[in-house]
Amino acid sequence: MNLTIETNKCLQAYNSLALAATASHFCCVSNYQQLEKALAFAKSNNLSVMPLGAGSNLVLASDVEGLVVYVDLLGVMVTEETDIPEGHVDVTFCAGEDWHEMVLYSLKRGWYGLENLSLIPGNMGAAAIQNIGAYGVELSDLLVSLKAVDLESGELFTLTNHECQFSYRDSVFKQSLKDKCLITEVTLRLSTSPVINLAYPALKGYFLDRQEPLTATMVSEAVCSIRRSKLPDPKELANVGSFFKNPVIPATKFIELQGKHLDDGADIPGYEQDGGAVKVPAGWLVEHCQFKGVRHGSAGVHKHQALVLVNYNDCPASNNAKDILDLAATIQKKVFADFGIDLEIEPRVYGFI
């Protein structure tokens, strides 16, 4: 139950962009008692608290003055409730569990619904903050409730799916509860019989010539294959996956843009959304503005996927975080100039350059 507080801790190994920011104070918590002690320490020393999971969706733009709490809460529990619909199971995952490992864990136990979200980097707790989604499924489709700790009072509280205020890559944890709590566990409602979801075009196309009956495991493997073909492994080339959100614009503006760019051969792709809106792929916008493969100091746009900014970490004199954010700003400026669309950075940026 002892808690170790480290000072001047380098966080390079704790974020997938491999940025060498330093935390003035750092600790790892693997149980609630340690978490309570960490919050008490922060309060008595007047330190802000920054929860940290796998670090796969953040940009450490500067050193962190405060207590970084690495969340290593582990465990999986089947919830015994009487009101769970037949053919389903409610499973509670502690926040420190690796997301992809839990997808595989669930498949082995005959719990289905997560397969389209295979290979998404990060941990269970952060998945709720981001409302992760891929290939036609979002976390909000599956989440029943979650528990979190108030960073100020140390009190544990529960939020339902509705109270999490989920939307596209957004939640209450990015709004009114931003920097105010630490998620400790999430409860998902999974199916006990396979539900094959091939609504997403790329996934449907993957199985176009397959004749044999599909299984949930096959869907998971297909998603992994598609993701690996498009996205670099952060362990081999530092990145946070998609760096920009896919912008959602009014249908009228989308039609206007199609007409405006008809002469330059830009066949702008778009996907209809609820409420008369259209989602435009951010990667297409970045690539059309000719940023694919572009370098800026230690930062670059991935040569195979324009939506991914990477840290080559090969320019010793560079401020890698500044290189990445400067490149992102250049891309945003060009996309807005050409299309009148504001690209929003998807990962959380901590600190200032």
Q: Is 169 a catalytic residue?
A: yes
Active-site residue among 171, 220, 242, 298? 242
Q: CB of 214 within 8 A of CB of 247?
A: no
| Per-residue buried b or exposed e for 80-102, using 16+ beta carbons within 10 Å of the residue's own CB | eeeeeeeebbbbbbbbbbbbbeb
| DSSP secondary structure letter of residue 5 | P
State how far the Cα of 173 lies from the Cα of 346, in Å rounded to an integer: 14
Strand partners for 91: 78, 188
Burial of 163 (0-12, 13-18, 19+ CB in 10 A): middle
3-state helix, strand, coil in the chain (%, to 5): 30, 30, 45
Nearest to 24 by CA among 48, 59, 1, 52: 48
Active-site residue among 138, 169, 189, 220? 169
Q: How far is CA 251 from CA 65, 138, 258, 273, 278, in A?
A: 44, 23, 11, 9, 6
| Separate counts of helices (H) and strands (E) for the chain | 8, 20
Active-site residue among 115, 138, 185, 346? 346
Q: Is 242 a catalytic residue?
A: yes
Strand partners for 249: 278
Residues identified as active-site: 169, 242, 346
